[in-house]
Amino acid sequence: MKIILSIFSLFLVFSCSVRQKGLDGASGNDGSLTKVEVSANSIKTSMEYLASDELNGRATGSDGIEKAAVFIESYFKGNNIKPFFENYRDNFTVKRNVGGEGSGEVIEIKGYNIVGFVEGNDPKLKNEFVILGGHYDHIGQGREVEGDSIANGANDDASGTITAMELGRYFSKTKSNKRSLLITLFAAEEMGLKGSAHLAERLKSQGLNVYTMINFEMVGVPRAEGKSMAYMSGFERSNFAPKLNEYAGEEVVGFFPKAKEFQLFFRSDNFPFYKELNIPAHAISTFDFTNYEYYHHVDDEADKMDYEHMASFTNKMAKAFEGILNSPNKEVVLNEE
């Protein structure tokens, strides 16, 4: 607990804003104009905890993922990102066969998504929601390499988790979002998208007016020079990528042919929201199978992440999502198939 508190105290330093004109001239609580930028140091601080051996690979149902959840909740509280439900946790259970084929030994594993809320500042548009997410679980243990068997999951997907957290902090500080924002960190992605499926069904049952959803999946390393900074799964299913690029003022999100070949649209936490809510819902990634060799590997470690790249990407996403959150109409739409 002392380690968590000491790391959390660093957030309060890194989270300070300066009184300058923001991306849209947003006002702070004291009426001053506020600018917030995501720093590489802030990202690194989160990464060095979430991808540390202390969390033992963050497997759903483990003590390690409980520590990760407490850390994320502390981050939310410290940055005025409020719980969307009665508390930050969206609880569910996953049944798992642990005895091998034919044994019939089934156990229930308890999981919980962490859901934060940044209310919109427009009386009407605040009833529309944009979801930004990433999965904070990982596989726990991997094949041992040089005495190390902990799969820390830095790129997969502490990187996406931290990106979503930082964007939540950005909008909670700038208050520059007319629409409301949910920051959703999923458990049990590695068990078959179980956490995101549960939350998508819950939001559907409540009739929540969800506009769009983006899942950040493995964004810790840059792509090769000459390629778009990131790519979007299901690129052709909506006009989401062109709209993000328009609002960002540059091409940040491009088309990656292998995303369709590998059917990545169906393999990440965006898919349950598309399936249940029939909305534009995609994953954005900078991992393209050529620029990082440690997928589900014990060497997927914090020291292999590129923090300047992550900060640059997250700041560009902040600018782009200001456009999504503040447009008078729902400009992002599904394409006709």
Which residue type sits at 331?
Answer: E
Q: Is the pLDDT of residue 101 over 70?
A: no
Q: Is the pLDDT of residue 24 over 80?
A: no
Mean pLDDT of 216-233: 97
Q: Identify the structural domains of the chain with CATH numbers, from first to last.
A: 2-326 (3.40.630.10)
Beta strand residue intervals within 119-229, DSSP E: 129-135, 140-145, 148-151, 180-186, 210-216
In terms of Cα–Cα distance, which of 223, 80, 199, 216 is closest to 136? Answer: 216
Helices (H), the chain: 2-14, 40-50, 63-78, 159-174, 194-205, 240-248, 257-261, 271-277, 307-326
> How much of the chain, in percent, has pLDDT values that exceed 70?
88
CA–CA distance from 42 to each of 14, 289, 310 (Å)?
A: 6, 27, 11
Three-state SS for 200? helix
**Ordered DSSP codes for 9-48:** HHHHHHT--BSS--TT--B-TTS-B-B----HHHHHHHHH
Q: Give the separation between CA 80 and CA 172, rounded to whole angstroms.
A: 6
Give the number of C-alpha atoms closer than 13 A to the C-alpha of residue 49, restricted to the C-beta side.
Answer: 27
Cβ-Cβ contacts under 8 Å for 47 (sequence gap 6 or more):
154, 158, 159, 162, 220, 302, 305, 307
Question: What is the predicted pLDDT for the residue at 306?
Answer: 98
Q: Is the pLDDT of residue 12 over 60?
A: no
Q: Is the pLDDT of residue 8 over 80?
A: no
pLDDT tens-place string over residues 251-310: 999 999 999 999 999 999 999 999 999 999 999 999 999 999 999 999 999 999 999 999
Question: What is the predicted pLDDT for the residue at 25?
Answer: 40
pLDDT class for 35, splitting at 50, 70, 90? confident
pLDDT class for 36, splitting at 50, 70, 90? confident
Q: Is the pLDDT of residue 29 over 80?
A: no
Residue 90 CB burial class (10 angstroms; 0-12, 13-18, ≥19): buried
8-state DSSP, 270: T
8-state DSSP, 224: P
Mean pLDDT of 303-318: 98
The H-or-E segment that residue 281 falls in is strand 281-285
